[in-house]
Amino acid sequence: MTRYMSITGIDCTPATLLIDTEAPLDVLFETADYRIRTVTQLLENIAFRSDISSDTLVLSDFCKMLTIALRDGCDVMDVIGRRLRAQAAE
């Protein structure tokens, strides 16, 4: 695994948003946890506010924004999984 991995969704070269695959596991976990919890909290907020009217375009844009944060968190969790599998194989 290379030292720096670009996050999913970045199609430019060179990528500027990178995950340090050699960062301590607790730091990687906290980063993923923060991104995923942010998405979860915002989605829960939307789900429990049924009395607020929102148009489809606003909700669509909002979902795209949440997808970025969720994908970042999943990318970091992928790095953690690879690191743990590599450690187990040693």
Give the pLDDT confidence score for residue 51 in this predicted structure. Answer: 64
| Distance between CA atoms of residues 13 and 71, nearest Å | 19
82 vs 50, more confident: 82
| Distance between CA atoms of residues 82 and 35, nearest Å | 19
Task: Tell me how far CA of residue 42 lies from CA of 54, 55, 59, 69, in angstroms.
Answer: 15, 17, 12, 11
Torsion, Cα 20 72 44 55, to 10 degrees, reads: 150
Asked if pLDDT for residue 19 goes beyond 90, the answer is yes
Other C-beta atoms closer than 10 Å to the C-beta of 73 total: 21
pLDDT, tens digit (0-9, with 9 covering 90-100), for 33-58: 999 999 999 888 877 776 666 677 77
